[in-house]
Chain A
Amino acid sequence: MEFIKTLFNFPQVHEWLGQAGYPAVYLGALAGAVLALLIAAVPILMSVCLSPSRPSAAKKAAYECGVPPVGTAREKQMVRFYVVAILFVLFDVETAFLFPWAVAYDMLGLFGLIEMGLFLAILIFGYVYAWKKEALDWVY
């Protein structure tokens, strides 16, 4: 974190953000976005620039543990995966409620803690239900 702070602690950037009317909080978001972009782009660029390119039919074939691939990669998925996706969306929405709670935690006191406990308890009941009904199992 300190590294990121020093990396983006140019007065110009602060000035620019101030002029644009953004609080300095967004500096962290900007740093994260730039780092994420670099982490994705640098390996790709390195492999494009540094590696020799001599493609052959065997090299271009899809790699499937050494076995020649059968059919295409676009097969229909099991309905089971879809259930996991919907459950992911639901618990994702739950997480969205956690962020404002965590930021305002100091102001809310014990009442906020109890409220969040109740909120989470209701949803954990749903989680236990899904678990008991074997909705999370892969093999059946």
Chain B
Amino acid sequence: MTWLVFVLLTVVALASAVMVITQKNPVYSALFLVLNMLSLAGFYVTLGAPVVAAVQVIVYAGAIVVLFLFVVMLLDLRKSIARDRSLGYEGLLAIALGSLFVFTMLLVFWGASPPAGGTVSAVNGTMEQIGKGLFQKWVYPLEVCSVLLLAAIIGVVVLANKEAGQGK
């Protein structure tokens, strides 16, 4: 049955990924991206990582795609739809980086050993375990994380005030 779930998720993920890059309307692309990210969350569940799946839905499918939609709306849509879609050096760069990625993944599949100190399957990814780890062993990185988020908030506010032309 896990096999069936895997096949269904794979079909949805691949089909939605193809739709993301073939849709003419960027808003539709963003919506298919949501579908793609949700199916990835399904993969995380089948791999026994429910926290990663939850974060995938909350942060990526929720917030990040909202951000993408805002970027799409900030740009002039009609211009970008009408624009010539031929690829220049960006296409070559994309092919090069994509080939590198496929090559790396093939290395992983054909028996590259996991990095030192880590095993592939021994991670206990339940919500409880991650909560315990975060707030006992990794407390200082967590607090540093909050400072990082604070820096991001202040950065956004400062940059936005500059763009809006009011230096209050």
Asked whether B87 is an interface residue with its Cβ less than 8 Å from the other chain, the reply is no
Chain B, interface SS category: helix
Stretch at the interface among A2-10, A37-45, A46-54, A112-120: A112-120
Contact B1 A130 (CB under 8 A): no
Interface residues of B in 102-117 (CB under 8 A from A): none
Q: How far is the CB of A137 from chain B (nearest CB, A)?
A: 10
Asked whether A96 is an interface residue with its Cβ less than 8 Å from the other chain, the reply is yes
Contact A83 B142 (CB under 8 A): no
Contact A100 B160 (CB under 8 A): no
Asked whether B166 is an interface residue with its Cβ less than 8 Å from the other chain, the reply is yes
B50-80 CB mask vs A (1 if < 8 Å, else 0) is 1100110011001110110011011111100
Contact B135 A108 (CB under 8 A): yes
Contact B66 A85 (CB under 8 A): yes
A: residues with CB less than 8 A from B are 16, 19-22, 25-26, 72, 74, 76-77, 79-83, 85-90, 92-97, 99-105, 107-108, 111-112, 115-116, 118-119, 122-123, 125-127, 129-130, 133-135, 140
Given pairs A90-B156, A115-B142, 9 additional interface contacts (CB within 8 A):
A16-B1, A77-B74, A92-B59, A100-B128, A104-B132, A108-B136, A111-B136, A112-B135, A126-B149
